[in-house]
């Protein structure tokens, strides 16, 4: 009696084993009749009986229409274009990165100059060592742009704040009684 199908075979069929684990199980199946029978039966069942075609169900047409109607209402939500999003959308990436670098550099230069002025005006050397090094800051890669945002920019995707307009519109619709969203305590 072999219980490896339940332990590993299901994960194997599901594609959740590492390549090494998968090879080990294949080697086991080649020698274990029980696992081989189980796997063949399961694969047949998945191919012929447990398909999306057979297990799916259709909601009533009114439900489809209602969900899509709500969706199309959401589409009409105005896109909020903040200055940063505007830059991301219309300014090429290298220029955008340069602007970020200049902005960061400018920020620290301004502050160091202000601090230097204060030092020269009021004296005192203690403040000097704490001043940020302007060059270091310009060379630091701009942190605010993460990998995901870059990937989205690469694919020319229109970027906007997706949460705000959606939730705002849904909230508005809810208040207007256009549709009802049942909350946790409704039932």
Partner 1 sequence: MEQQAQQLTDDDRLFDKWLGGDPNGFSELYGRYRGRVFGFLLRMTGDREVAEDMLQETFLAAIRNVGQFDRSRSFLSWLFGIAHKRTIDYYRHAKVEADHVDDTDGSVGSRIDSPEDSLSNKRLRKIVGEAVQRLDPSQREVFMLRELGGVPFKEIAEMMGCPINTALGRMRLALINMRKELKKRGIDNVRQI
Which lies closer to partner 1 via its Cβ, residue 7 or residue 99? 7
State which of positions 2-61 bind partner 1 (CB under 8 A). 5-7, 10-11, 14-16, 41-42, 44-46, 48-50, 52-60
State the distance between the two ends of the chain, measured CA to CA, in whole angstroms: 47
Largest CA distance in the chain: 89
Which lies closer to Zn ion via its Cβ, residue 34 or residue 170? 34
Which lies closer to Zn ion via its Cβ, residue 4 or residue 109? 4
A 10 A CB-CB count for 179 gives: 13
Question: How far is it, in rounded angstroms, from Cα 29 to Cα 46?
Answer: 19
Question: How far is it, in rounded angstroms, from Cα 112 to Cα 130?
Answer: 10
Output Rg (C-alpha) for the chain, integer angstroms. Answer: 30
Which lies closer to partner 1 via its Cβ, residue 67 or residue 113? 67
Among the residue ranges 28-36, 93-101, 113-121, 177-185, the one whose residues contact Zn ion (CB under 5 A): 28-36
Q: Could you give the angle at which helices 83-90 and 93-122 cross, rounded to 10 degrees?
A: 140
**CA distance readout (Å), 149 to 97, 129, 162, 164:** 12, 36, 13, 18
What character string, x for contact with partner 1 (CB under 8 A) and - otherwise, covers 91-130? ----------------------------------------
What character string, x for contact with partner 1 (CB under 8 A) and - otherwise, covers 60-89? x--xx-xxx-xxx-xx---x----------
Question: How far is it, in rounded angstroms, from Cα 94 to Cα 112?
Answer: 27
Q: Which residues bind partner 1 (CB under 8 A)?
A: 5-7, 10-11, 14-16, 41-42, 44-46, 48-50, 52-60, 63-64, 66-68, 70-72, 74-75, 79, 148, 152, 155, 157-160, 162-163, 166-167, 170, 179, 181-182, 184, 186-187
């Amino acid at each position: 009696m072999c219980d490896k199908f339940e332990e590993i075979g299901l994960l194997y069929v599901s594609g959740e084993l590492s390549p090494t684990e998968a090879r080990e199980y294949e080697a086991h199946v080649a020698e274990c009749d029980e696992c081989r029978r189980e796997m063949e039966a399961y694969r047949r069942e998945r191919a012929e009986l447990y398909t999306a075609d057979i297990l799916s169900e259709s909601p009533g047409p009114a439900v489809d229409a209602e969900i899509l109607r709500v969706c199309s209402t959401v589409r009409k939500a105005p896109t909020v274009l903040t200055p940063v999003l505007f830059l991301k959308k219309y300014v090429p990436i290298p220029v955008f990165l340069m602007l970020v670098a200049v902005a960061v550099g400018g920020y620290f230069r301004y502050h160091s100059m202000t601090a230097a002025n204060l030092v020269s005006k009021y004296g005192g050397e203690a403040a000097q060592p704490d001043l940020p090094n302007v060059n270091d800051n310009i060379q630091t890669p701009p942190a605010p742009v993460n990998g995901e945002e870059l990937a989205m920019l690469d694919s020319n995707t229109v970027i906007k704040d997706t949460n705000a307009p959606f939730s705002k519109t849904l909230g508005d619709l809810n208040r207007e009684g256009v549709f009802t969203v049942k909350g946790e305590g409704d039932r």
